[in-house]
Amino acid sequence: MIQFDKTLLKNGLTVIVHTDRSTPFVAVNVCYNVGSKHEDPNRTGFAHLFEHLTFGGSRHVADFDTAVQMAGGANNAFTSNDLTNYYITLPANNIETAMWLESDRMLGPKFTKKGLDVQKKVVIEEFRQRNLNKPYGDVWHLMRDLAYKVHPYRWPTIGLVPEHIASATLEDVKDFFFHHYAPNNAVLVISGNIGSSDAFKLAEKWFSGIPSREIAPYLLQTEPPQTTDRELTVYRDVPIDTFYVMWHMGGRNEKDFYKLDLLSDILSNGSSSRFEVKLVKEQKLFTEADAYLSGENEPGLFVATGKASPGIDIQLAREKMLEEILMTAETSITDYELEKVKNRVEADLLLNEIGYLEKAIQLASFEIMGDAAEINNQGKRYLEITAADLLKTAGELFRKGNRNTLNYLSLQNSKK
Amino acid sequence: MSAFRKIAPPVHSVEKIDFIEPEHQLLPGGTSFFTLYGGTQEVVKLDFSFMAGTWFETSKLESMMAASMISEGTSGKTARQIADRIDFYGAQLNSLPYYDNNYVSLLSLKKHLPHLLPLLAEIIQDASFPEHEFEIMRQKRKQRAIVDAEKVGLVAQRTFLRSLMGEGHPYAPISSPEAYDNVTLDGSKSHYLRHYYSANATLFASGDVDAGVQKMIVDNFGSGWGTPFPYKKDQPQIQSAAQKTVFIERESANQNALSIGKRVPTQHHPDSAGLKLVTTILGGYFGSRLMSNLREEKGLTYGIHASVVSFVRDAIFMIHAEVTAEKTEEAIKEIFLEMQRLREELVPESELEPLRSFLLGRMLEDFDGPFARSQSFSSLYEAGLSVGYFDQIIHTIKTTTPEQIRVLARTYLDPETMYTVAAGKK
């Protein structure tokens, strides 16, 4: 159970406080309701580029990093398809430094041509390092493009192509800021060694003077139900053949999300999972086999993937994995298996209650989805699931027509 | 907007860090047992540290395979039965190989320990190394190594380490995935039998380790296991490569990986703490000189880092980055330029002051909560250092002068002594 207090400032900023007296630190975490899904399809990668830019100083702060260091703190940020999250951790008695910096970032970063030009280069290097210069680095570009035709999840956070990042202008940047960065589009979470009333006072002092802004409307584009299975085969300069099979599933807020999370655990979480026992150890078809959820807030993907053992045909391995998945989905899951994965969830949820920063990030993320209190309902949602529930949901997921297959094959092997 | 925004709020420096040593007892079987009580949840972490890393191998990969086989079967239980139990109680079991000490760790809810501690004892004390599981594990590891061999970053770092140490040195990584074809079941099992015995183990128990948990630990691990192995290793010869510059060609790369550095004194040397500070100024944090120059000024890289990697019996200074392929020469030039600046110019106090505060904050973080404390003390004891080392670090952070920094840079950052390994497109 994660206790917290919540209030709403007049300018629309939601403030959440979680007290944890076991640490000498506090985290000041600001989460904006803007991610790559809010981008123009012709200018992707913008939310993430923007995150980089906001570290270049703001109206009253010449240099963010030096200010954080002086206070003995550390700071960072991340951008996902759904949101952009900034955090500073520092000794509790220096919390005002973090409040100063994060409120000034919200008030208005300092944008310069030089700053933009350099960060465009840095982000393009990040693109290269993570997605172009690494074996299997472009898998998510291909998967998203195959699985989504309408929804903006069809491009990854880093962007569709480096050219989109290269073409960003200072005007675009300013425009983006005023349409997305605003108290009425953000959640501030303060966690760690501070009481609620002190934290609320500081939030009022530093954030209440920032005006509300008009937020660009997010036009929800629902992905139409897929009716025909899709398959794409690519050849790349990689040593080992692999595949990714994906099915469309429900969003993070839906009950099915929890069921499918348990199903993916039964299939592949831990050495006693079905994939590990049957596909890796008994049949020796794979050296690695995995099932997981892409995990976005809006309807995402259920993914199954694996690397075949040497000498095993990748198509055969894939068919065997699909058989195993369908068998699990069609026949009964044992009570023992269900109890096992529920025990794992119980342990994982308790472990998630240890770090003051992790708790702040999770509280913010749940609040962006609708309600921070949902963080404490997760356990219940998992525990109430029955084997029959799982089979029903799995049946809907694995229906014919809902499948996308990416065969990611080795160029070298194909020439042999 | 309010006037208070215009000036930075006052800051307080970190005054006190609690270095209180963990409670210690020597178990009858010779295991050194440390307890670090604390935390907010009913969770316990056990970390067994065995002097069993690559340093102790008679041939490559024995340590890695021994660590991987720990949970793959005992004389009474199959790999499947072990996995079933661990997973059923939602615990996390990790057995990891390193250069000096190998670790076996269990993270569990306290309430499940009565079921899990006897199992953990059985795994550690009676691993049976079944052949079927060994072959599967070997294939799995080899495939991972094959993929890793395609990553220019790893290729550069591993080649760099081999260049410094010499191919045959126990700290030198394998040169190709084919090395997995030569590791044997017998060799790995011997490695386990020789090094995973009670008197060769240190145990750190952290979290909600109350008297009841301590008693359970003593009951399961107190009386000892295994046969002490009369181990004596000659200090292996360092055979650094004569060629200080290496280029490994990878035609399809669109970024080149760089590893630049040299061997430096271990943590027992009086300069060690100071050299770590110099390394941090150069490339050890976001505001470092290399990051400011190559990333924030020129946009040549997503990230560049300098660090001192401390082994128990050696240490290396290493700069690593992945840079725009066609700008490789420029990046190398700038890296050497930044080292040269530290050798010539005094670091201004305006740069040192925030760094001192920042590092004290990170030090405070290293002792925040039982798990972090456990990690800090296990590294300390593994290196054969005492708690006074932490005080020495604090003292170094607070008092090292710009002149001392320049002396250290002149001593250790001589460009003539540096090895430069690049992997990517020529």
User: What is the full DSSP assignment across A102-156?
Assistant: HHHHHH-B---HHHHHHHHHHHHHHHIIIIISSTTTTHHHHHHHHH-SSSGGGS-
pLDDT digits (tens, 9 = 90+) for B119-144: 999 999 999 999 999 999 999 999 99
**What span, in angstroms and rounded, lies between the C-alpha atoms of B379 and A276?**
33
According to DSSP, the residues that pair with B204 across neighbouring strands are B34, B47
What gap in Å lies between CA A398 and CA A327, rounded to an integer? 11
Q: What is the ipTM of this complex?
A: 0.93
* Secondary structure class of A38 (helix, strand, coil): helix
Among A96, A125, A356, pick the best mutation site for testing chain B contact (most B Cβ within 10 A): A125
Using the predicted structure, report yes or no on whether residue A391 has a pLDDT greater than 70.
yes
Q: What is the CA radius of gyration of chain A?
A: 23
Interface-testing mutation among B358, B360, B398, with chain A (most A C-beta atoms within 10 A): B358
User: Cα separation of B293 and B333, whole Å?
Assistant: 12
- Structure-token pair, residue A86: 């900034």
- The verdict on a CB contact (< 8 Å) between A22 and B39 is yes
C-alpha span between B62 and B191 (Å, rounded): 6
B369 vs A: CB within 8 A: yes
Q: Is B352 on the interface with A (CB under 8 A)?
A: no
Contact B83 A287 (CB under 8 A): no
* Residue A346 to residue B139, Cβ atoms within 8 A: no
**Yes or no, beta carbons of B298 and A118 under 8 Å apart:** yes
Token pair belonging to B52: 């069993």
Tokens 């607070």, residue located: B398
* Spatial distance between the Cα atoms of A385 and A263, rounded to a whole number of angstroms: 11
The tens digit of pLDDT for each residue in A93-137 reads: 999 999 999 999 999 989 899 999 999 999 999 999 999 888 999
Interface list for B 143-162 with A (CB within 8 A): 143-144, 146-147, 149-152
Cβ–Cβ contact B344 with A under 8 A: no
Looking at the complex, does the CB of residue B18 fall below 8 Å from at least one CB of chain A?
no
Q: Which of A282, A136, A378 is nearest to B83 (CA)?
A: A282
Taking contacts as CB-CB distances below 8 angstroms, the residues of chain B near A91 are 12, 14, 361, 364
SS3 B49: strand
**Bridge partners for A26 per DSSP:** A90, A192
Is residue B366 within 8 A of residue B372, CB to CB? The reply is yes
Contact criterion met (CB < 8 Å) for B139 and A135: no
Q: Report the DSSP beta bridge partners of residue B260.
A: B319, B420
CA distance B242 to chain A (A): 30
Give CA B400 to chain center in angstroms: 26
Cβ separation A288–B140 shorter than 8 A? yes
Q: Is B204 in contact with B378 (CB distance < 8 Å)?
A: yes
pLDDT cut 90: percent of chain B above it: 92
Q: Please tell me the predicted confidence (pLDDT) of residue A219.
A: 86
B306's CB contacts (< 8 A; 6+ apart) are: B261, B279, B280, B282, B283, B284, B288, B290, B317, B318, B319, B320
Q: Mean pLDDT throughout A251-265?
A: 94
Q: How far does A286 lie from chain B, in Å, by closest CA?
A: 9
Chain B: closest CA distance from residue A281 (Å): 7
CB atoms inside a 10 Å sphere around CB A219:
7
pLDDT band at B315 (very low <50, low <70, confident <90, very high): very high
β-strand A403-410 against A230-236: which pairing, if any? Answer: parallel
Q: Which residues of A touch B358 (CB under 8 A)?
A: 68-70, 72-74
pLDDT tens, position by position, A340-377: 999 999 999 999 899 999 999 999 999 999 999 999 99
- Rounded to whole angstroms, the Cα distance separating A151 from A221 reads 5
Contact: A125, B302; criterion CB under 8 Å: yes
The continuous run of DSSP H or E covering A290 comes out as: strand A286-293
pLDDT of residue A332: 76
Tell me the CA distances in angstroms from B401 to A83, A202, A291, B359, B396, one per residue in order. Answer: 44, 37, 54, 15, 9
DSSP B328-376: HHHHHHHHHHHHHHHHHSPPPHHHHHHHHHHHHHHHHHTTSSHHHHHHH
Give the global pTM: 0.95
- Measure the N-to-C terminal CA separation of chain A; round to a whole number of Å: 57
B8/A70 CB distance under 8 A: yes
Question: Are B341 and B309 spatial neighbours (Cβ–Cβ below 8 Å)?
Answer: no
d(C-alpha A201, C-alpha B36), whole Å: 36
Predicted local confidence at residue B1, as pLDDT = 57
Q: How far is CA A162 from CA A41, A44, A46, A49, A132, in A?
A: 13, 9, 11, 11, 10
Spatial distance between the Cα atoms of A15 and A37, rounded to a whole number of angstroms: 24
Give residue A331's pLDDT band: very low, low, confident or very high (50, 70, 90): confident
| Interface contact flag, B9 A354, Cβ < 8 Å | no
Q: How confident is the model at residue B236 (pLDDT cuts 50, 70, 90)?
A: confident
- Mean pLDDT of all residues in chain B? 95
Q: Which of B377, B317, B293 is nearest to B20 (CA)?
A: B377
> For position B15, what pLDDT does the model report?
80
Residues B361-391 have pLDDT tens digits of: 999 999 999 999 999 999 999 999 999 999 9
Mutate: best of B302, B323, B352, B374, partner A, most A CBs <10 A: B302
Specify the pairing of strand B32-37 against strand B201-207. Answer: parallel
B178 vs A: CB within 8 A: no
Q: What is the mean pLDDT of residues B278-284?
A: 98
- Are B255 and A277 in contact (CB < 8 Å)? no
pLDDT tens per residue, range B385-405: 999 999 999 999 999 999 999
Facing residue for B40 by CB, picked from A20, A270, A348 = A20
Inter-residue contact A370 to B56 (CB < 8 Å): no
Contact A362, A85 (CB under 8 A): no
For A43, the enclosing helix (H) or strand (E) is: none
Q: Determine contact: B305 vs chain A, CB below 8 A.
A: no
Indicate the length of chain A as a whole number. Answer: 416
Q: Is A205 exposed, middle or buried (0-12, 13-18, 19+ CB in 10 A)?
A: middle
Residue A416 has a pLDDT of: 61
Is the Cβ of B136 closer than 8 Å to some Cβ of chain A? yes
Residue whose structure tokens are 């040549």 = B300
Of A60, A89, A239, the CB nearest to B147: A239
Whole-number Å distance between alpha carbons of B375 and B353: 28
What pLDDT score does A28 carry? 98
Taking contacts as CB-CB distances below 8 angstroms, the residues of chain A near B354 are: 66, 69-70
Instruction: Tell me the two tokens of residue B276.
Output: 């770590």
Tens of pLDDT, residues B84-97: 999 999 999 999 99
Picking from B12, B91, B303, the nearest residue to A93 by CB comes out as B12
Which among B72, B62, B73, B82 is positioned nearest to B192, based on CA atoms?
B62
Contacts of A65 in chain B (CB under 8 A): 286-287
Residue of A67, A117, A273 lying closest to B8 (CB–CB): A67
With an 8 Å Cβ cutoff, are A351 and B80 in contact?
no
